[in-house]
Chain A
Amino acid sequence: MNVGYVVRELYHQKRRTLTAILGLSIGIALLIILNALSMAYRQAAHAPLKEIGADITVQRPGDVPKDLSGAVFPCSAVTIRKEEIEKIQSLPGIKGIGKAVLLWVFDSKQAWIVLGIEQNNSIGPAILRAAVAEGRFLEDGKSEALVEAAYARQFGIRIGDTVSVNGSNFPVVGLMDASRSAKIAVANLYLPLADAAGLAASSKNLQAVSPFASGDVNLLFLKADQEKTAEISASLKGILGKKATVGTSDSFLKLLGSLFALSDKFTLAASLIALIVAVLIAFKTMAGNVAERAREIGVLKAVGWTNRNVVMQLLSESVIQCFLAGILGLLIALLVAFGLSFMKINIPIPWDMAPNPHFLPGGGDQIYKTLRLPVHIPWTLALFAVLLSVVIGGLTGGLLGRHVAKIKPSEVLRHE
């Protein structure tokens, strides 16, 4: 191989070189973008769970309370018994568990959505201590409350006030900013888990629909091995019944409804198509190149170049051309990814996961987790794409070796 000859050939045949580089670079850019989008949607789908410190949420749907007074469970989250929790904890792939109790409390003057949380557990709603806008977070061993800031404004509740919930009194120690809090298990009053469980256990209405004892909860947040999510989901349904609501990244991905979100197969198929088109463009250009240069190849052979020498020359041109196409494709993909990263997507949070009474103002409204599409191109994908371009160049150049071998100098150099 003569580097000068390779560079001259690529430079002097600008049109042919540019066609090959542009064609292949678009294919490579498509491949990178499709995969980056697929990863971005997967990452976005995990966001609602990530902000609550979990990989999986678990609920069990039940009956609608007959009498909406006092403390009741929303019909989307009824009792998960202590024994069931123990079974879930021992499932393979479970790394940690967070528990919560979500209640609707209908007092004579106002309605509360109460969430009982484990103050010191990073799995579950306690991760939201960063969302305290004013005051402080709940402290261990104290019966106290946090109120959602907008709700507090609506009802004139301030830090230091005492709120009465179904006959129990709780001093307000802080206000939560809903815009900074999770969209799963949204509440307007946050209590220690034991206090919320106490409200549930003492409610006749609640007990009539879904018996609740000490150690029971109605929301579970699981940290789990990502590779085993599907397996764990199946086991959870085995423990809690087929109707159990199991929220995972995959279930949010389906809610997103994008082609990229719907199926890995789509990304794979689209990537393959992009790649095949890219390879065909590279091959067609190189094949045209060999056909166009048959006379030149004949001269090279006549003056003593072996088939291997000629193939190495064409292979070098092809590899350099495809490498440049890979780099250009990567640059195009980076630009497109930068543009796409400004795109906002709304991930719908199913009502079941953030239940609020339909008959209250704003009740039943669809809640969305809104975020910028986290499109980025990992270096591994970038490296893979560039290496793939080089491999395409190598294969294309190699395949053309057969055509080169068929070129007979005596035939192509026969004078005009």
Chain B
Amino acid sequence: MNDSKILSGTGLSKSYGELEVVKNVSVSVNAGEFVCLVGKSGCGKTTLLSLLSGLEHPTKGQVILNGKEINGASEDELALFRRENVGFIFQSFNLIPTLSAWENVALPLFPVKISNEERRQRATELLSQMELGHRLEHLPSALSGGEKQRVAIARALINKPKIIFADEPTGNLDSATGDAIMDILNRLHTKEGVAILMVTHEAELAKTANRLIRMHDGEVIS
């Protein structure tokens, strides 16, 4: 872990009509750092994650991700930026049900002009690292919850991102499987140097992080 900032959000606010969900929040994540964003349900964690990852534009404030200010970027520019710089892990895995495990992993590469063999090779390597080398051709419906989340992690890594945004990655898993997923995430940030910003409401999981950001009612309280 080093102290150079990979992500910085300054004075971020997000309103939906009259409702202000995120209120003047400033956060930053250093390269290789594992940061947990904790707070009760509905406190604005996921919205803040969306603002920081470029999935959503803030009403006010500035986001600098991997050295680029992303506030003014168009939707398509943001999509291209996400493809090259960030990875996502969701609570409900969000795998494409009609695609096999390796194809799901290679999904971000589909619009990229590389050969199918190369896509498959890169996806296979990552799935092997996730101990899913034997499940390459399986559809998501044939995978267990833990396997699905490992496929999703492999997908998040396919573009070698500097930072991964994880939104309740163990929320749909039993505790043993959840622990296994957390082990993978910890390994990613300690061995691979990938920064992780993880949203969770489970205090136990947050203990493994380098740093905690606590939110309450749209504001960062510590």
Interchain CA distance A307-B80 in the complex, whole Å:
10
Closest to A3 in B: B116
- A302 near B88 with CB under 8 A, answer yes
Closest to B158 in A: A303
- A415 near B50 with CB under 8 A, answer no
Interchain CA distance A416-B46 in the complex, whole Å:
11
Q: Which of B61-69, B102-110, B179-187 contacts A (4 or more CB under 8 A)?
A: B102-110
> Of residues 291 to 338 in A, which have CB atoms within 8 Å of B's CB atoms?
295-296, 298-309
Return B52 CB to nearest CB of chain A, in Å.
11
A296-B96, A305-B108, A307-B79 known; 19 new pairs, CB 8 Å cut-off, are: A5-B103, A5-B110, A8-B103, A299-B96, A302-B82, A302-B94, A303-B82, A303-B107, A304-B111, A305-B110, A305-B111, A306-B80, A307-B76, A309-B110, A410-B50, A413-B90, A413-B94, A415-B167, A415-B171
**Closest 7 A/B residue pairs (Cβ):** A304-B83, A410-B50, A12-B98, A410-B55, A306-B76, A415-B91, A410-B56
Q: Contact residue range for chain A?
A: 20 to 34
> Of residues 99 to 156 in A, which have CB atoms within 8 Å of B's CB atoms?
none
Return A406 CB to nearest CB of chain B, in Å.
10
Let me know if B155 is at the binding interface, CB within 8 A.
yes
Contacts of A225 in B (CB 8 A): none
Q: Mark A1-16, 1 if CB is under 8 A from B, else 0.
A: 0101100110111000
Let me know if A369 is at the binding interface, CB within 8 A.
no
Return B152 CB to nearest CB of chain A, in Å.
10
Closest to A293 in B: B96
- A309 near B92 with CB under 8 A, answer no
Return B126 CB to nearest CB of chain A, in Å.
14
Interchain CA distance A305-B84 in the complex, whole Å:
11
Interchain CA distance A11-B82 in the complex, whole Å:
30
Let me know if B168 is at the binding interface, CB within 8 A.
yes
Of A12, A295, A405, A409, the contact of B55 (CB 8 Å cutoff): A409
Name A's B-contacting residues (CB within 8 A): 2, 4-5, 8-9, 11-13, 295-296, 298-309, 405, 408-410, 413-416
Of B84, B94, B111, the contact of A295 (CB 8 Å cutoff): B94
Closest to B91 in A: A415
- A306 near B94 with CB under 8 A, answer no
Name B's A-contacting residues (CB within 8 A): 46-47, 50, 55-56, 75-76, 79-80, 82-84, 88, 90-92, 94, 96-99, 103, 107-108, 110-111, 116, 155, 159, 167-168, 171
Interchain CA distance A301-B84 in the complex, whole Å:
13
- B98 near A415 with CB under 8 A, answer no
Of A295, A298, A303, the contact of B83 (CB 8 Å cutoff): A303
- A308 near B167 with CB under 8 A, answer no
Return A318 CB to nearest CB of chain B, in Å.
16
Contacts of B98 in A (CB 8 A): 5, 8-9, 11-13
- B75 near A307 with CB under 8 A, answer yes
Closest to B88 in A: A302
Interchain CA distance A336-B82 in the complex, whole Å:
53
Return B180 CB to nearest CB of chain A, in Å.
20
Interchain CA distance A416-B93 in the complex, whole Å:
12
- A301 near B91 with CB under 8 A, answer no
- A4 near B103 with CB under 8 A, answer yes
Interchain CA distance A309-B110 in the complex, whole Å:
9
Instruction: Please name 9 pairs of A and B residues whose Cβ atoms are closer than 8 Å in the assembled complex, sorted by A.
Output: A2-B110, A8-B98, A299-B107, A300-B107, A304-B108, A307-B79, A408-B56, A415-B168, A416-B92
Contacts of A300 in B (CB 8 A): 107
- B159 near A304 with CB under 8 A, answer yes
Return B65 CB to nearest CB of chain A, in Å.
13
Interchain CA distance A305-B155 in the complex, whole Å:
14
Interchain CA distance A409-B56 in the complex, whole Å:
8
Return A20 CB to nearest CB of chain B, in Å.
16
Return A306 CB to nearest CB of chain B, in Å.
4
Interchain CA distance A305-B80 in the complex, whole Å:
7
Contacts of B92 in A (CB 8 A): 415-416
Contacts of B167 in A (CB 8 A): 415
- B76 near A415 with CB under 8 A, answer no
Contacts of B159 in A (CB 8 A): 304
Interchain CA distance A8-B110 in the complex, whole Å:
14
Interchain CA distance A295-B46 in the complex, whole Å:
16
Question: A413-B90, A415-B46 in contact; A302/B76 too (CB < 8 A)?
Answer: no
Closest to A299 in B: B94
Of A5, A11, A296, A304, the contact of B79 (CB 8 Å cutoff): A304
Contacts of B88 in A (CB 8 A): 302-303
- A306 near B103 with CB under 8 A, answer no
Contacts of A304 in B (CB 8 A): 79-80, 82-84, 108, 111, 159
Return A189 CB to nearest CB of chain B, in Å.
79
Of A309, A415, A416, the contact of B111 (CB 8 Å cutoff): A309
- B91 near A306 with CB under 8 A, answer no
